[in-house]
Amino acid sequence: MRRWRWTLEGFCRALFVGCVGWSALASGSELMGVLTAALGLSAAGLSRIRSERVRSHTGSLWAMWWLFGGAITALSSQPQWTWWVGVLAGVGVSWSGGSPLWRVLGSATALAGNGVPPSALNALIEYSVRCLLALGAVLGVRAASATPKAESEAVSSGFEPISVDNLPHSRALTQRLSIYLQQHLGHVQAEAAVLYLYDLRAGTLEPILRLGALPDLVKNRGRVLMGDGMVGVCASSGKPIAFLSLLKPPPDLPKSVAWEGAPSLCVPLFDPASPSGRPMGVLQLIGAHLTMDALPKARALASRIAEALAAARQREAEQLANFQRLSAIVAQVEEQSPHTRGHSHRVAALCDLLSQELGLESEVREKLRIAALFHDIGKTRIPPEILNKEGKLTDEERMIVRRYPLYSVEICAGMGFDEDVLFLIRHHGERLDGSGYPEGLDATRQPLALRILAVADVFDAMACTRSYRDALTTEARLRELSKMAGTKLDILVVETLRRCHLQGRVEPLYNELVSHSFSAGMPLAA
């Protein structure tokens, strides 16, 4: 009976500790309570097992250790023998290293050899049943904690999604990706990176982003053909390629792949919206300390970049569709009011000229241009008999007309326009002295972009023929602006426009737009 007791105990403890240890290594700290309750193994002891570093080796030797030690442990009838055999097996595995699975199994042999104090058979059966129940709990925890591979990689990687909201143009996306990569290069053991995007029409990969100290071969590289070199082969095959040592090239390396001048890892980018995994580009990571251990995180990083690129393309397509719809509405406005035909495009061109001259950032300039294009779109909701009335408007009619900026905001907000753009559209009729509309903002609440839009709008409006006056010449318009400078309009913007005119930079641009916008019968101010 004693022999069978030790046999049963040895097998139960070896099997249980091995399975629990392997699950703990894979699943994490949530299993500590189960282990402590089942075997009295302390959390510190489990943490020590999980934190010990193991050296790489084949698993066959550790399987032999476990089978040999476990067999002798189970069949021996002497507790002191089982203790020594278990200790030798555990010490051998601990000193020699091995994979985590086989190391835990070897350690389980040592634990099995320790035995338990002699007790009644009922206590032993109770102990065995408790072990089996705990093992079931462990397997249940592990099954419940399993997640799909792609989801678990993204979560465990720690790479947050890249927001593509409020991006006025593609350059802003590149800047955001650059900052994101700079923040996470260290997480993938890289010191430099290049991001390539696939150009479907040309069939090539174009480098859009370079970071860090790159080898000359990579730094000076232009477009890459599909299937050419590391980057091209990675994109065409859809598989990662690593060339980490010139002295030890990968055995299955394609012939077209050559050393890039530094350890390099290429990871493909796939369109997340494509069921077939349409290629989007390649992320090339470079660094002296790159290893294959970085591959899972590199894939997760590439996945985040691909998600951002796909979202940006979708957003760009939606914006293009919105622009086309709004442009059709603008054309409708110009058809209703022929004397202002082309006004929005000319105001946009003037705003771009002035904002560039005054040093506004590219992002602000783009928002200003969009606002200028659609600032009058709300006039479609103004009755044509009021909008095109011969002679001056009554006070009541003027109040109706002055509501069009609010209508413009309603229309553009439904198209997903940026809040800054909507602000410029809403308040382009404001004046510095508070006499403008629709809210009478004071000067402190009017940014430079809004002041530029106001000057450009007034300047071009005076070039349009009205029923009560003819179109004014450029010199006459500048004189009228000077009268309002410092009170209603910004003096710096007005003087900048005057300087651009004296330099001959307004007339060519302005006349070209006017000649393309007005019909042949419309008067053209000079």
pLDDT of residue 388: 81
How far apart CA 526 and CA 516 sit, in angstroms, is 15
Give CA angle at 472 (468, 475), nearest 5°.
155
- Pick one of 3.30.450.40, 3.40.50.300, 3.30.360.10, 3.40.50.880 as the CATH number of 157-311: 3.30.450.40
pLDDT band at 324 (very low <50, low <70, confident <90, very high): confident
pLDDT band at 89 (very low <50, low <70, confident <90, very high): low
- At 212, give phi and psi (nearest 5°): 80, -175
High-pLDDT (> 70) share of the chain, %:
63
Token code pair at residue 267? 């990871």
Listed by start position, the domains of the chain span 2-146, 157-311, 337-517
How far is the CA of 291 from the CAs of 50, 51, 70, 243, in angstroms?
Answer: 22, 21, 36, 10
- Please, which residues have CB within 8 angstroms of residue 130's CB and are 6 or more apart in sequence? 38
- At 196, give phi and psi (nearest 5°): -110, 135
How far apart CA 105 and CA 62 sit, in angstroms, is 8
Q: Write down the pTM of the prediction.
A: 0.53
Q: What is the pLDDT of residues 357-402, one digit of tens each?
A: 999 998 899 999 999 999 999 988 999 888 888 778 899 999 999 9
Q: What is the pLDDT of residues 200-221, one digit of tens each?
A: 888 899 999 999 989 988 988 9
The 10 Å CB-count burial string (b at 16+, else e) for 452-463 is: bbbbbbbbbbbb
Residue type (1 letter), 97:
G
- At 92, give phi and psi (nearest 5°): -60, -45
How far apart CA 44 and CA 110 sit, in angstroms, is 18
The fold for domain 337-517 equals Hypothetical protein af1432 (1.10.3210)
Q: What is the pLDDT of residues 406-462, one digit of tens each?
A: 999 999 988 878 899 999 999 999 999 999 999 999 999 999 999 999 999 999 989
With beta carbons less than 8 A apart as the criterion, state whether 127 and 39 touch: no
pLDDT of residue 337: 67
Burial of residue 495, with CB atoms counted within 10 A of its CB: 0-12 exposed, 13-18 middle, 19 or more buried: middle
Please say if the pLDDT value at position 516 is more than 80: no
| 3-class DSSP string for 80-124 | HHHHHHHHHHHHHHHHHCCCHHHHHHHHHHHHHHHCCCCCCHHHH
Q: What is the pLDDT of residues 141-155, one digit of tens each?
A: 333 333 333 433 443
How far is the CA of 221 from the CAs of 18, 42, 190, in angstroms?
Answer: 52, 57, 19
How far apart CA 160 and CA 173 sit, in angstroms, is 16
Please say if the pLDDT value at position 339 is more than 70: no
- Please, which residues have CB within 8 angstroms of residue 301's CB and are 6 or more apart in sequence? 157, 159, 181, 184, 187, 188, 267, 283
